[in-house]
Structure 1
Amino acid sequence: MKKIFINILFFAYLNAAFPNWYYKIKNIQQQKKAFVEIMLPLIQTENQKISALRKKIIKIFNDPNLMLNPKEIGFLAKIAKKYKIKNILDKTEYLKKIDTIPPSLALAQAAIESGWGKSRFVRLANNIFGHWEYSNKGIQPKSKYENIDINYSLKVFPSLEDSIRAYMLNLNRNPAYKEFRNVRFYYKLNNKKFTGTIAANTMKLYSQKRDEYVKLLKTMITLNHWEKFDK
């Protein structure tokens, strides 16, 4: 176990793809545990970055006079562009879009989309959440959805960290996940805990499986007791 722990630390330091030793684990429960030990710190790190940005946004808007200097205006404009916020002075929109993702949800989607990190898209492209891209610079899937007339490939990421960051940005700004953001915002306003199983109900558009995908997410979170990571 000591060797595995050292390998995990070394992996996290490099932000590399899943290491070879991970794929050599034969015991399913041990591999699931290793999956969480690899992914959870990276998920938490990205959430911490989002939290820090959110605090900075709140600090700017908490100025009683809201006398923004050119530097702050430039900063808000940059963030607004990144998160697709139309009005750079719309505080509510910033707070809806710049917030953390329940770790249990991220773990469940990572496990489902990547086959517990075993898919060739993870091995070749660090693509753990099944992200598409449309410039033909990615990896071609072996089979495509029959009912989708779109020329897409699987996006290549420099590291798992980049894949996680893109996943979180996707949930925080893509129109498809507006319900996710609205529900999260409601729970925060009412000081209620926004868990992965609650968030899963808003993920119908993430997969072609729709309602079946939502059930799969909730089952994955519950069976693995991952909501404990949402504290």
Structure 2
Amino acid sequence: MATRRSVIKVSLSTLIALVLVLYLWSLSTERVQQDLVPAPSEMAAKPVPDFTDFANVEEKKKAFFDYLRPEIEAQNQHILGIRHRLMQLQRKVANNEPLSEKERQSLVWLKKEYRVDSNVNPQDLAQTANVIQGLLNRIDIIPTDLVLVQAANESAWGTSRFARRGYNFFGLWCFKKGCGFVPSRRKEDAKHEVAKFPNLTRAVYTYLRNLNRHDAYRELRQIRANLRANNLPITGSDLAEGLVSYSERGHDYVEELQAMIRFNEEYFTE
């Protein structure tokens, strides 16, 4: 009997230790995520302005762009910060320097978040270098002018119910029941909903991540990579060429975005 109790005691001890390890790992992963995902600004959770209040078209445009621009610019700066850290890691790997545990955890989390399909064995520098390069190809800015005109186009200048009630200015879908709004024209056999977000920060983050990781926008990322490789400006008009798959309208949609960029240039800076 004593032997049996001893076995049970050891088993419980092992289980407790395992639970503790998993708990500590989850806390560590949560800290990594908090470091890599932008925190909502004070303004981000405030109600979306009622843009129908503006009778003057020029004033409405200015109010719309002024509302979205600070969040877009802040998140692009956040992205550039992550790129800078990735390039630091890239230099460490090239110099055969070991990565810290936090650095390895950051790579693992980013690899999953941006769907980089590559192994990441912390002891294999070649694999780690491939992961970092894959992340650098995906984690990069989307020009403010392109984000602004897409938001205007997809949300009817902020007047759609998805924008007003769920911060969804970009027509983003989700596929879990209750995750958003059921579109009024959704086909009977369709399961998607129009995503609802708790604040503007999360909405913009999800939109930027969507362009930076979805296979449909691989061409956009390639255009951007080519511009960077040739030390050329990353412009909204150039990257719009990679958004053919964003709308059923295809190339007509791209041309409309490019025309909106040209026509509204004066509103893109403060």
Structure-2-length-normalised TM-score: 0.75
1:62 aligns with 2:88: no
1:79-130, CA deviations, whole angstroms, 9 ceiling, x for partnerless residues?
1111111224213211110111111110011000000000011111111101
1:146-179, CA deviations, whole angstroms, 9 ceiling, x for partnerless residues?
6x96321111101122111100000010011111
Conserved? CA contact 1:51–1:99, under 8 Å: yes
Correspondences of 1:1-231 after superposition (within 5 Å): 13-15=42-44, 16-20=46-50, 22-63=51-92, 64-87=95-118, 88=120, 89=128, 90=130, 91-137=132-178, 138-144=180-186, 150-225=190-265
Which stretch shows the higher mean deviation, 68-77 or 39-48? 68-77
Alpha-carbon spacing, 1:213–1:161, altered in 2? closer, same or farther (3 Å): same
Alpha-carbon spacing, 1:227–1:120, altered in 2? closer, same or farther (3 Å): closer
Q: Which runs of 4+ in 1 moved over 2 A?
A: 226-229
The offset of 1:140, in angstroms, is 1.0
Conserved? CA contact 1:108–1:217, under 8 Å: yes
Name the counterpart of 2:38. none
The offset of 1:18, in angstroms, is 1.7
1:47-97, CA deviations, whole angstroms, 9 ceiling, x for partnerless residues?
111111111111111112242233221221111111111224213211110
Name the counterpart of 1:6. none
SS at match of 2:42: helix
What code does the residue aligned with 2:150 have? Q
Unaligned regions of 5+ residues in structure 2, if any? Answer: 1-40, 121-127
SS at match of 1:13: coil
Conserved? CA contact 1:96–1:181, under 8 Å: yes
Unaligned regions of 5+ residues in structure 1, if any? Answer: 1-11
Conserved? CA contact 1:132–1:155, under 8 Å: yes
Percent pairwise identity:
33
Conserved? CA contact 1:139–1:154, under 8 Å: yes
* Residue-pair matches, total: 215
What code does the residue aligned with 2:155 have? S
Structure-1-length-normalised TM-score: 0.87
Tell me the distance in 2 between the aligned counterparts of 1:149 and 1:204: 25
CA-atom RMSD in angstroms: 1.8
The offset of 1:141, in angstroms, is 1.2
The higher radius of gyration belongs to: 2
Tell me the distance in 1 between the aligned counterparts of 2:267 and 2:215: 26
Tell me the distance in 1 between the aligned counterparts of 2:190 and 2:85: 39
Name the counterpart of 1:4. none
The offset of 1:187, in angstroms, is 0.5
